[in-house]
Structure 1
Amino acid sequence: MSYSLGVVMDPIAKINFKKDTTLALLQAAQRSGFALFYFEQGDLYLDNGRAMGRGRALQVFDDPARWFELGEATELPLGELDTMLMRVDPPFDNEYIYSTYILEAAEREGALIVNKPQALRDCNEKIFATTFPQCCPPLIVSRDMQKLREFHNLHRDAIFKPLDGMGGTGVFHCKPDGANLGAILEMLTDRGRRQIMGQRYIPAIKNGDKRILVVDGEAVPYCLARIPEAGETRGNLAAGGRGEARPLTDRDRWIVEQVAPSLKERGLLFVGLDVIGEYLTEINVTSPTCVREIDAAYGTDIGGLLMSAVTDRLDQKG
């Protein structure tokens, strides 16, 4: 049986062909026989409570000169699509939240949304990780600058970061001398008006910030370690980090085992865990990346694993 799949994503013409995970997922879906439909965030709307979208039929190609072709735009009831991928990059702002409400209406009308809209709203990528304290480094979430200063005084070496950033944006390493600590906390908290996170610095960042992909509660057996440039503390590829694919360690697998039941319970089919050394630091639920790099290094088919999980659910619905 063939199924239909809608994708909500950033403009497909502007993606990085070599690295874009959404494109890899769409290629896997097309290989699996899904009919593809393309939407950008602004194409979604509610019409008398019914989820609708101005969508276009989509074909994708493994060609750096021509990786997509779009059909004519047409108004589509989103609930009539079998499944939809929500793949818009953060920031997780009000517009993102409104999109999840529209997708939740499509879900009520019968579409399988990946990842589940309620879970996208509930699971802030930094705070969600704190629900597994056995996996995390010492940390604090606060907007009280005195508490944040006390955290730094206790641990001496700390990372401070916003709760809504991506790609390493706004991440600061405050060393034991506390240089610029006050200015950093004032800026990140907007002088005490915004919650931020502090984490004890993990020296193992020098060996990479590992992205572990989890599909339907099962870990892909390889991760991508994002290794910082010299003098940097951020391994994010967007911040200049270098990617190196590696097998998972026993500790990595243990962390996945701790987290996986909650992911499945919440309807989070495709998730990226960030692990530095022995510690879980973030759980990425909005648009996890690094599929292309891991597939290229180890011959995996991560998109195929996700499409298999999606197809299994659609088959069970009958």
Structure 2
Amino acid sequence: MKLLFVADPLAGFKIHKDSTFAMMREAARRGHALYACEPHELSWRRGSKVEAHVRHITLTGAHGYGVHDWFKVEEEDRAALADFDAVLMRQDPPFDSEYFYATHLLERAEAEGARVFNSPRALRDHPEKLAILEFPEFIAPTLVTRNAADIRAFHDEHRDVILKPLDGMGGMGIFRVKEDGLNLGSVIETLNRHGAQTVMVQKYLPAISQGDKRVLVIGGQPVPFSLARIPQGNEVRGNLAAGGKGVAQPLTARDREIAEALGPKLFARGLLLIGLDVIGEQLTEINVTSPTCFQEIADQAGFDVAAMFIDALQAALRVS
């Protein structure tokens, strides 16, 4: 198969932990051809198909922390996305206007015959913070609003809350306000900009001390291990980007219940790979843009997540 990865610049990959690299390595091991482009290289012209400036790459076998010469460009040219067996959208968040426009180009490519994973429409329809609203039975008390008075009332009710922007990533912009309400007004002003921006507020879950678990779901089926991202020191955030410590562990019964309830439904909408964030027994986020933690789980638990992903990709394409 010819696989095109739409991703951030390859030279910036941290291959000792990058999940897209793990996908590429497993695909190459099976003999599939690897191609890559960046989202800004997608284009469409009247009378033609959606195309991109693509690089045909091979892996050098170099590996480890700080390695940059892990790939070699064999050739580069313009090519229509429909000419590839699969297109994998692996650009990291944020989901900004340019990401939004890229999904429209990718959806146009689908109409021309391209097979895109995750589905561009599904990427747009499942914003990572708001997608949980469809599944209230699995989430903690949650408020989504621009209204400062509503946020204050929610804090009065639950006393200890987490506030976060809807477009945040890697733990960016997350605040905890405890029972004393210290700095609540300032946090509200910072996040909702005097009513101009919508904020999510959730009841604080003490189980965060045991980790913010990333539960991967591939082809509608859960990976049997999660990665618990445990906050360090006085930090309230478990995100690896915020200094959290990742610990692989078997799924709990509740993890599996959530994954098995959501997985088939979201897979049917075109989401081949999702990452559920679970704190204790509560779902807090559904990651669809570029879910990670493949290598951490594989390294610690011995489960080959990338192999499960390529198996699911091949099954979706009906390739043995």
- Report TM bin, short chain: over 0.9
Q: CA RMSD in A?
A: 1.3
Report the Cα offset of residue 304 of structure 1.
1.4
2:251 aligned with 1:245, yes or no? Answer: no
- SS of residue in 1 equivalent to 2:168: coil
2:310 aligned with 1:312, yes or no? Answer: no
Report the Cα offset of residue 261 of structure 1.
2.6
Cross-structure match for 1:229 = 232
- Mapping for residues 114-263 of structure 1, pairs under 5 Å: 114-263=117-266
Report the Cα offset of residue 208 of structure 1.
0.3
Cross-structure match for 2:27 = 29
Contact (CA 8 Å) 1:6, 1:39: kept in 2 or not? yes
Unaligned runs of 5+ in 1: none
Report the Cα offset of residue 73 of structure 1.
2.2
Report the Cα offset of residue 196 of structure 1.
1.1
2:98 aligned with 1:100, yes or no? Answer: no
Indicate which of 280, 284, 301 corresponds to 1:281: 284
Contact (CA 8 Å) 2:221, 2:264: kept in 1 or not? no
Contact (CA 8 Å) 1:80, 1:109: kept in 2 or not? no
After superposition, what is the alpha-carbon deviation per residue over 1:241-278, rounded to whole angstroms, capped at 9, x for unaligned?
00100000001001112211321121100110000001
Number of positions where the alignment pairs a residue of Structure 1 with one of Structure 2: 315
Contact (CA 8 Å) 1:5, 1:83: kept in 2 or not? yes
After superposition, what is the alpha-carbon deviation per residue over 1:19-69, rounded to whole angstroms, capped at 9, x for unaligned?
111100111111222211110111111121621000010112442343111
- SS of residue in 2 equivalent to 1:140: strand
After superposition, what is the alpha-carbon deviation per residue over 1:229-252, rounded to whole angstroms, capped at 9, x for unaligned?
111110000000001000000010
After superposition, what is the alpha-carbon deviation per residue over 1:272-298, rounded to whole angstroms, capped at 9, x for unaligned?
000000100000000001000001112
Contact (CA 8 Å) 1:27, 1:61: kept in 2 or not? no
- The more displaced of 212-221 and 298-307 is 298-307
The amino acid of 1:207's aligned partner reads Q
Q: Partners of 2:305 and 2:60 in 1: how far apart?
A: 17
Contact (CA 8 Å) 1:37, 1:57: kept in 2 or not? yes
After superposition, what is the alpha-carbon deviation per residue over 1:180-207, rounded to whole angstroms, capped at 9, x for unaligned?
1011011101111111100000000000
The amino acid of 1:293's aligned partner reads E
Contact (CA 8 Å) 2:219, 2:264: kept in 1 or not? no
TM, length-normalised to structure 1: 0.96
Q: Partners of 2:105 and 2:58 in 1: how far apart?
A: 24
Q: Partners of 1:295 and 1:61 in 2: how far apart?
A: 21
Contact (CA 8 Å) 1:158, 1:201: kept in 2 or not? yes
- SS of residue in 2 equivalent to 1:53: strand
The amino acid of 2:220's aligned partner reads G
Cross-structure match for 1:301 = 304
The amino acid of 2:23's aligned partner reads L
- The more displaced of 92-101 and 59-68 is 59-68
- SS of residue in 1 equivalent to 2:179: coil
Q: Partners of 1:43 and 1:144 in 2: how far apart?
A: 40
The amino acid of 1:295's aligned partner reads A
Overall identity of the aligned pairs, in %: 47
Cross-structure match for 1:45 = 43
